[in-house]
Structures are given as C-alpha cells and as structure tokens.
Structure 1
Amino acid sequence: MTWTDILAPIKNTEYFKTLWEKVQNEYSTEKCFPPKDQIFRALELTPFENINVVIIGQDPYHNDNQANGLCFSVSEEVTAPPSLKNIFKELHDDLGIERNQKELNDWAEQGIFLLNATLSVRAHSPNSHKNLGWEKLTNYMIKEISDKKENVVFILWGAFAQKKEELIDCDKHLIIKSAHPSPFSVYRGFYGSKPFSKVNDYLKSKNKKPISW
C-alpha cells in the first residue's frame, strides 16, 4: 500500500480541494515555508510501506532557509534551532552519537516519518497556517498509519503532539511520550528520556532493523 492509495479517499473530497486552494493562495500572495515543492517531502522520502517510526511536530520553522518539509529538520546552511540542538544533545547522552548533520533526510529514508501537523507557515509568523485545515489531513495520515500498520513507534514530544495519542492504537504500536525539546521544557522530562535507544530496542524486539541515528 502506497501514499497514493492511502490519500486517494481524502484527496478527492471538497475539503482537500478547498485546503489546497487556500495553500496556493497563501504561497502566491505571501512568503511561505517550506518551499512549495517541499510541502509533501516527508511523504516523498518515507514511503507508507517503509514507516517504522513517526515523529510529530507542530508546524514548520518560519525563518528563511530553515524549513525543508521534515519536522525538526533544517537546511545545512542555517544554524540549528534550539529544539534540534537539544534533540542532538539527548541523542549523544542516550547513544553516544555526535550528530552534526542538521538535515534529517537520512532518518526519513530509514523509515522515520517526520510529520508536522501543519505543513506550511507564513514567513516569520509561527502557527500562521494552523487554521487553513492541514490538521484534518495530517490526523488522517496518523490514523491510517495506526490502522493499517503494526509495530510502529510514535514519538510524541510535548503537549501538542500528545493530543494525537487518541488517533493511535496503543495495543498495536509503541508510544513514546516526553516533554518537548524546546528550551522552555527540555528540563521537564525531555533530557534523560532516552527515546533513541527505546526506539531501537523496540524495533529489534519486533525483528525490525534499528535506526542508524
């Protein structure tokens, strides 16, 4: 089963046509991120059949040259945002891995679906596209992954992502929850949560290939 199969029912609805018209209007009248051809990059790099891990973010980074269609990932040419730095610090503390590559496309290509709940944003205006209607689509994706796959790890960092738990069948999948890696909450339970080793331990227990973080 492919993303084309999964999305066919919702893409043919009036809802999706209206959403896409709104998105196209925003991109034609305002500066928006990620670049329009990268809005669905997470789906392009992580085919539905390859998904073993899902990480859920809120919306894309809103400053120049940051967002590239994968949650928490930024282009190599910019400084790593604080949340990404904190993710890499926890990765080092958890598995001893010193990661410098800020683009997370290698994670996506290993079956980590890096999904923002809202897939676009107006420049320098965080959460500005939250009312366009993206979440109906991304909630649909999360539920389809839960319903149609088994033994997937869902990583829910922070209160926003944890609201998505109701879409996930916890009997079939592993849910890893902690505080968000932002500087405002990183000391409230993100540091020390060891999500990376937990993912690999679970994948190995299900005879799946662990992630090369």
Structure 2
Amino acid sequence: MHDWPGDLAPLAGGWGPVVGDFLASPAGQALDRQLRARLAAGATVYPPQPWRALALTPPERVKVVILGQDPYHGPGQATGLAFDVPPGVRTPPSLRNIFKELARSHGRPPATGAGLLEHWARQGVLLLNTSLTVEAGQAASHARLGWQTLTDAVLAHLAAHPAPRAYLLWGAHAQARAPRAQPGVPQLVLAANHPSPLSALRPPEPFIGCDHFRKADAFLVAQGQTPIDWLGEHMEDGPAQGAAA
C-alpha cells in the first residue's frame, strides 16, 4: 500500500458513511496518524487495497459474514479479502483447509483457481479481517492500531439494518464478535475452530467436518434467498443476486 487512505469512491453509497465516520472518529484519526507515520518511515504495508472487502460486498448485499484476523504478511499474498490470495500464489494452509472442508461437505472439490473468494464476495459473503492492514513479515503488527473499532462499526451497522444473515465464526478471535440475537430477525450463528492446521481438527468444534457451508445455504434457502455458489461452479455466469424464485 502506497496511498493511504486510498480510493474511497468504491464505498460510496455502501459502506462509505460507516468508513467516513470511523476515519473522523478519535480511533480513526489515531489509526490514520500511525499508518501515515509507518509509511513515511518506509514500512511496507499490505494489502494494496485495504477496503476491498467492503467495496465488493455493500451492506445491502450481505448474506454471510466470515471474519478473519489480519491480512497475510508475505509479499504478494493479501488481497483485501479475508483468507484470499491472488492468482498464482501458493495456497496458504488455512485456505487449503477451507477448500478441504468444501470438498468434504459437497463431495467434489471447489474451483480453487483465481477468483473463487472474490466470487463469494460478489454474491454477498463479507470476507472481513478484523485488522485491515499489516506490515511485511510481521503478523498482527497492526492489531492494536484501532481497526477493531471499524469492525465493530460494520457489525453494528448490519445489526441496525436487520436481514436474514449467516455468521460463520472460526476461532476465538471471530467468536468474540458474535452478533447479538435480534427478536424477529432470522439469523444463523455458527462457530468452529479456526481453519489453521493448528486447530482445524481439534475439539471441541473441529473446522473439518463443521458443515458450515451447507448449513449456511440451507438457512438462506429457508429464508427465500439464493444459496452461495461456494464451489465456483457458476463463476462464468457472474455473481448470483436476489431471492430464490
């Protein structure tokens, strides 16, 4: 990332007001000062487009929320979508386990080539890291800059505009931000271990075998919504939209 805060135009009419309020807040101003200082000092900060998850999945389109932690800190890995990597980059272990669980639950492997997670995002899957930036080679280096204030504001905005949504919370970090139940608003909250190899098979809620993708689809269909094309079988057809017929 060379230009902070970068291009906010793609957020207009969507998450723009939430991001604008955050950047104007004391927490946002403090984060702004720290990021500018690190960039001025020559730090390499990833990803190039920190707002990408919010730009691809505006609030009115959100059907599923998946929370990550911080972006990948290796060169050329982070895309601005939680767990995603660009074309041609070796699949990280956590994403490999996500693909493994998809293959297990659906009986066939996903299209693991370029664009699968972007395909999810365009269908209404908000792939949001709780820290939107990280420094090269330093995991969780921006975890205390104040990004969680924005994450909480995003989740609060969704809560203030109730609609049927599924929340897939993988690991204690994501589960700490579980949404509160809202009377009369159908929502599905699923918890499992993080897909990291360190925890994916461990009790009490192993990620492998959690069946979250099928459960989320069953919930969406029950609410009259189109299920998510998790496997990417219709990527060439463009993003699915709207309610089921």
The TM-score range, normalised by the shorter chain, is over 0.9
Matched with 1:93 is 104
Structure 1 position 202 matched with structure 2 position 215:
no
- State the Cα distance separating 1:32 from its structure 2 match: 1.3
**Matched residues in 2 for 1:33 and 1:5: separation?**
24
Match of 1:3 among 15, 22, 38: 15
TM-score, normalised to structure 1, is 0.93
Larger Rg: 2
> Secondary structure, in 3 states, of the residue corresponding to 1:139?
helix
Matched with 1:183 is 197
Match of 2:59 among 45, 48, 72: 48
**Matched residues in 1 for 2:36 and 2:79: separation?**
17
Matched with 1:24 is 36
**Matched residues in 2 for 1:17 and 1:67: separation?**
24
Contact 1:33 1:121 in 2 (8 A): yes
Larger proportion of helix:
1
> Secondary structure, in 3 states, of the residue corresponding to 2:176?
helix
Aligned pair count?
210
Contact 2:34 2:145 in 1 (8 A): yes
Map Cα deviations across residues 52-107 of structure 1 (whole Å, 9 max, x no partner): 00000010001011100000001112100000000000001011242212541111
TM-score, normalised to structure 2, is 0.81
Most deviating of 13-22 and 80-89: 13-22
Match of 2:50 among 30, 39, 50: 39
Map Cα deviations across residues 153-204 of structure 1 (whole Å, 9 max, x no partner): 1110011111001x43365321010011000011121111011101100000
Give 5+ residue unaligned stretches, structure 2.
Answer: 1-12, 231-245
Map Cα deviations across residues 84-140 of structure 1 (whole Å, 9 max, x no partner): 000000001011242212541111000000000000001111000011111111111
**Matched residues in 1 for 2:34 and 2:161: separation?**
30
**Matched residues in 2 for 1:34 and 1:24: separation?**
15
Letter in 1 for 2:224: N
Matched with 1:145 is 158
Letter in 1 for 2:167: F
**Matched residues in 2 for 1:148 and 1:19: separation?**
27
Q: Cα gap change, 1:102/1:169 in structure 2, threshold over 3 Å: closer, same or farther?
A: farther
Structure 1 position 159 matched with structure 2 position 176:
no
Contact 2:130 2:151 in 1 (8 A): yes
> Secondary structure, in 3 states, of the residue corresponding to 1:186?
coil
Matched with 2:236 is none
CA RMSD in angstroms comes to: 1.6
Q: What fraction of aligned residue pairs are identical, expressed as a percent?
A: 37
